[in-house]
A and B are shown apart, each in its own frame.
Chain A
C-alpha cells in the first residue's frame, strides 16, 4: 500500500540544505546507509534516486532490493533538525532510455563530470516523523509507563 508524501515533505526534500540518507540491505544481510542528495520526488509521488556509481554499496543493495523484494528507507533531515523516515519499495530501475537521458543531462548540467548510472523508482510505503521532540511526545502518549520513577514523579506533581 502506497503512502502519500505530503507537500510539506516534498518541499523539504527539494531543499538543497536538506540531508537525505538511504538505508539498504546488502546481499549478505548487512545494513548500509549513505548520504544521497540525489533523492527527489517525481510528479507521481514516487521517490527518485539517481545513482552515479555502478559499484557503490548502495547501488548493489538497490539491485538486491529489487531481486529479493527487500525494502529500503530514506531519512530526511532538515536544516532545522526535523527528521522524517520514508520506508519504500524499489519498484524499478532504468539504465538507459529517454527518461534516463533527461536526468543524465540535468545532472551533467550541474557538474560536467557527473555520469549517471541508474535511475531508481521507489514507492513510499510508510512515512513518519522522527524529529526528537515529536517522537518524544508520541512515545510518552503511547507508552506512558516506560519511564523512570523520578521522571514519573516529576510529571505527575
Chain B
C-alpha cells in the first residue's frame, strides 16, 4: 500500500477532533493518534537515546519489535503518563504519515509537519537491567518493565497458530517468534523469580505485576496446561509476599471455565483476572480470532468472562480489545458509524456486569496478517473511547491494572484519572 498523499484531506485532523470533543483532553487525543499513525525518530532524537540510561528494547520478549533495536520503549508526557511505542514501524506500507519525534532547542518533542505538539522524555530503565540470572542470561529475558509494572510473558508462542488461519489476524507476536526462529517456548519459573526478586529491590519503581503469554491448548481439557503453567508462576512470585494476602497482580490469559477459575483463585494469590474478548461482535470475532472462535467461541468466551466475576469480584475482572480492528477488510464493518453503534452497544452488555474494557488502538502491525491494512479515523477512536468512559462511569467500574501508571497502551482509560 503506497502512502496516500491526500489522506489529511479525507479525515478530521488532531485539532478538528479536539474541537469536536472539547471535554476530551487534547493530550490524550494526541496519544491515541500517535498509536494510530505510528512514530519515527529523527537522527537528533535518536542521539538523545542513551542505552546505558534509557529503557530500549528488552533483551528478551521481542514480540512487537524485531527490526528496530535501539529505540525507546516509550515516551513520557507532561501529565506523567506514557506512551508505549515499542513496536516496529513499517516504512513501506503506511497510508498515513507518522508522527516524528525530533529535538528542538535541545528538548525532545512529538511533532507533525514540523509543528511542536508535546514535549516528551524517554524512560529511564529500571535497576535490574544489565544484571544477569544465575544461568548467565540477562534478567530482561525473563521480565520486562512498562515502566511501573513488572511484565512476565510466560509462553512465547500461541498455540492458536497451530491450525492454519487460527491465529488472531492483528497479532504479530507469534509470527515474530517464528520469524526469529526462537525455540525456547516457555521460560523456567526459577529464573523469572530471580529477576522479580532483583526488580523488587528498587524502591518506588513498581506497583504491580502483569502475567500473560501465548495460549496453550493442551491438557486433559482445553487450556488445562495453560492454567497449570500460570498457577506455578503466580504461586512462585506470590511466595515473595505476605502469606495469605493477594498481591497486586493481573493475569491476562485465555478464557478459563468455572472449574479452571476455581483452581486459579484458590491455588494462587492472584488479584485481578483479564481475558481479552478482543472484538466486540460475534461475526467479526469469528473471522478475526478464528482460533479463539474454534476452540471456545464468542458467546462462551463472553460467558466465561462474566462468570469470572463470581471468583475475583467486581472491579477485579477486565477484558482487553483491539479497537478499530472491527473495521478491517474485507469482512469488517464497512462504515465507522455502524461499527460504533454495534460495538458500543455490545460493550455495555459487558461493562454493566462490572467488567472494565481496556481497548488498545489497532495499529496494523508488521508481521501480522492485517499488516497492510488501514486503521480507522482518529474521530472514530475518540468517539468510542468517549463512549466507553461514559459506560465506565455509568456502571461505576474503576480501573486499576491497565491504568496510566501500569500499562500505557490504553489512552482512553487515562480519562479515569479525573
Binding site for B on A (CB under 8 A): 27, 60, 63-64, 66-68, 91-98, 100-101, 104-105, 108, 116, 118
Contact with A along B57-94 (1 / 0, CB 8 A): 00000000000000000001011110000000000000
Q: Which residues does chain B contribute within 8 Å of A108, judged by CB atoms?
A: 203-204
Residues on B with C-beta less than 8 A from A97 are 76, 124
* B residues in contact with A104, CB < 8 Å: 203-204
Q: Tell me, in angstroms, the Cα distance from A97 to B206 when the chains sit together.
A: 10
Bitwise interface map of B from 173 to 217 toward A, beta carbon under 8 Å scored 1, else 0? 000000000000000000000000000001111000000000000
User: Which of A27, A64, A95, A116 has a CB less than 8 Å from the CB of B80?
Assistant: A95
Q: Which residues of B contact A96 (CB under 8 A)?
A: 147-148, 204-205, 405
User: Are A93 and B78 closer than 8 Å at their CB atoms?
Assistant: yes
User: Is the Cβ of A101 less than 8 Å from the Cβ of B205?
Assistant: yes
The residue from A66, A92, A101 contacting B204, defined by CB atoms under 8 A apart: A101
Residue of A64, A94, A96, A97 most packed against chain B (CB within 10 A): A96
The DSSP consensus for interface residues of chain A is helix
Taken together as a complex, chains A and B put the C-alpha atoms of A91 and B202 apart, in Å, by 27
Q: Are A91 and B417 in contact (CB under 8 A)?
A: no
The reply to whether B80 and A98 contact each other, CB–CB distance below 8 Å, is: no
- Distance to closest chain A CB from B32 (angstroms): 14
Q: What are the residues of chain B within 8 A of A93 when measuring CB–CB? A: 78-80
Chain B residue contacts of A67, Cβ below 8 A: 25-28, 79, 418
Are A63 and B418 interface neighbours, CB within 8 A?
A: yes
- Bound complex: CA of A36 vs CA of B161, how far in Å? 55
Residues A68 and B25 in contact in the complex (CB < 8 Å), given A95-B405, A96-B204, A101-B203? yes
Determine the main DSSP class of B at the interface with A.
Answer: loop
Q: Which residue of A lies closest to B404 (CB)?
A: A95
A92 cross-chain contacts in B, Cβ below 8 A: 78-80
Most buried by B among A60, A66, A95, A104: A95
Give chain B nearest CB distance to A8 CB in angstroms: 30
Residues of A within 8 A of B79 (CB): 63, 66-67, 92-93
Cβ distance A63 to chain B, nearest Cβ, rounded Å? 5
CA distance A94 to B210 in the complex (A): 22
Contacts from B to A (Cβ < 8 Å): 25-28, 76, 78-81, 124, 147-148, 202-205, 405, 417-418
In the complex, besides A96-B147, A98-B124, A118-B80, 11 extra interface pairs with C-beta distance below 8 angstroms are: A64-B418, A67-B27, A67-B418, A92-B78, A92-B79, A94-B76, A94-B80, A96-B405, A97-B76, A100-B204, A116-B204
**Across the two chains, which residue of chain B brings its CB closest to A107?**
B204
Q: Select from chain A the residue with minimum beta-carbon distance to B77.
A: A92
Whole-angstrom distance between the alpha carbons of A63 and B202 in the complex? 26
Would A66 and B78 count as touching, CB distance under 8 A? yes
Measured in the bound complex, the distance between the Cα atoms of B204 and A104 in whole Å is 6
Task: Tell me the complex Cα distance, A94–B124, Å.
Answer: 12
Q: How near does chain A come to B231, taking the closest CB pair, in angstroms? A: 30
Cβ contacts A to B, 8 pairs, < 8 Å: A63-B418, A67-B27, A68-B25, A95-B81, A95-B405, A96-B205, A101-B204, A105-B204
Interface centre among B124, B202, B418 (most CB of A within 10 A): B418
Q: Please, which residues of chain A bring their CB within 8 A of the CB of B27? A: 66-67
Closest beta carbon of chain A to B172's beta carbon, Å: 27
In the assembled complex, the Cα of A101 lies from the Cα of B201 at a distance in Å of 13
A105 vs B26: C-alpha distance when bound (angstroms): 33
B335 → A minimal CB distance (Å): 31
Q: Chain A contacts of B124 at CB under 8 A?
A: 97-98
Residues of chain B contacted by A64 (CB below 8 angstroms)? 418
Query: Residues of B contacting A98 with CB < 8 Å?
Result: 124
A99 to chain B, nearest CB (A): 9
User: Lowest 4 CB-CB distances: which A-B pairs, in order?
Assistant: A104-B204, A93-B80, A67-B25, A92-B78
The answer, among A63, A105, A116, for a CB contact under 8 Å with B417, is A63
**Within the assembled complex, what's the spacing in Å between the Cα atoms of A105 and B204?**
8
Residues of chain A within 8 A of B405, CB atoms compared: 95-96
